[in-house]
Amino acid sequence: MTQNIYDDEDFFREYSRLPRSVAGLDAAPEWPALRALLPDLDGLTVVDLGCGFGWFCRWVREQGAASVLGIDASEKMLARAIAATGDPAMTYTRADMEWLELPPASFDLAYSSLALHYVEELDRLISVVYRSLAEGGNFVFSVEHPIFTAPSEPRWSTDSAGRKIWPVDRYLEEGPRRTDWLAKGVVKQHRTLGGYLNMLIRVGFAIRHVEEWGPTPEQIAAHPGWADERQRPPFLLIAAKKPGLDRRPHAVGARNQFHADNKQGTG
């Protein structure tokens, strides 16, 4: 079972204060680059894996998506998302992504933002996502970059010349890393760049785009504190596609079938 750190009282309180938690997508520095990887959303059926407060779910509906299913393991996160939603085409469900099942060929876009690095059995989940997508469907996601997740002690240090450096160790040793971020003992799963890409390739995805994200000069000008992120990428953004021609408009009954098959439904 995935560690549900987001329902920890201390963690949730601190996470709720982050800019992206308060102001939504536009406060996430990687959002413009991630948004550019998305297909035309008009008429699509979307599933958001690790939907959190539901910011993306609401945004895709504003862009014309036919329906959205948001999935998260956190009861606290989903309660906030449901409270902010009054749209019958948007559904939220509590589920552990380690054991998630989705109806086959039912979605046109699967999306995930900074959630998949918590999933231990990610190869299984990617297979589930592949089967759940219609032909021509897209899978767009972000995770913490492997350079960010690899170190035993992920923090900046200073070299003999006074320059900030990001030490990397155990890079090729994939597996859990226990860190202190907002709370003690947060468990994340480290994978190499090749590990992520080969999981996608093995199940049949075609890789459309890979981006080792760093802030643009314009972003640094507006937020000088982000300049250090140019020294080591904090995020990895990937867009993949299931072979075949996409279809639209697509029936919106997939979310109802999901609830019939999943006993952990909420909202």
pLDDT (tens digit per residue) in 165-223: 888 999 999 999 888 766 677 889 999 999 999 999 999 999 999 999 999 999 999 99
Contact 70, 84 (CB under 8 A): no
Query: For residue 167, what pLDDT is reported?
Result: 87
Whole-angstrom Cα distance, residue 20 to residue 142?
15
Average pLDDT of the chain is: 87
- Global pTM? 0.88
The identity of residue 67, as a single letter, is S
Q: How confident is the model at residue 261 (pLDDT cuts 50, 70, 90)?
A: low
Q: What is the mean pLDDT of residues 38-50?
A: 97
Among 263, 258, 267, 256, which Cα is nearest to 75's? 267
Element (H, E) at 258: helix 254-261
pLDDT winner (highest mean) among 15-24, 99-108, 258-267: 99-108
Task: At 154, give phi and psi (nearest 5°).
Answer: -75, 90
Alpha helices in 191-253 (DSSP H): 193-203, 217-222
Is the pLDDT reported for residue 4 higher than 90? no
Over range 48-70, report the average pLDDT: 96
Q: What is the mean pLDDT of the segment spanning 55-74?
A: 96
User: Virtual CA dihedral for 98, 263, 9, 2, nearest 10 degrees?
Assistant: -10
Q: Is the pLDDT of residue 251 over 60?
A: no
What pLDDT, on the 0 to 100 scale, is given for residue 182? Answer: 62
| 252 vs 245: which has the higher pLDDT | 245
Give SS3 for 211. strand
The H-or-E segment that residue 9 falls in is helix 9-15
Which of 183, 202, 187, 208 has its CA nearest to residue 144?
187
| Cα separations in angstroms, 62 against 43, 81, 205 | 11, 16, 28
**What are the pLDDT digits (tens) for 151-179?**
988 888 888 888 888 889 999 999 998 88
Using a pLDDT cut of 90, give the percent of the chain over it: 62
Neighbours of 245 (CB within 10 A): 7
Would you say the C-alpha torsion 251, 253, 257, 262 has a positive or negative sign? Answer: positive
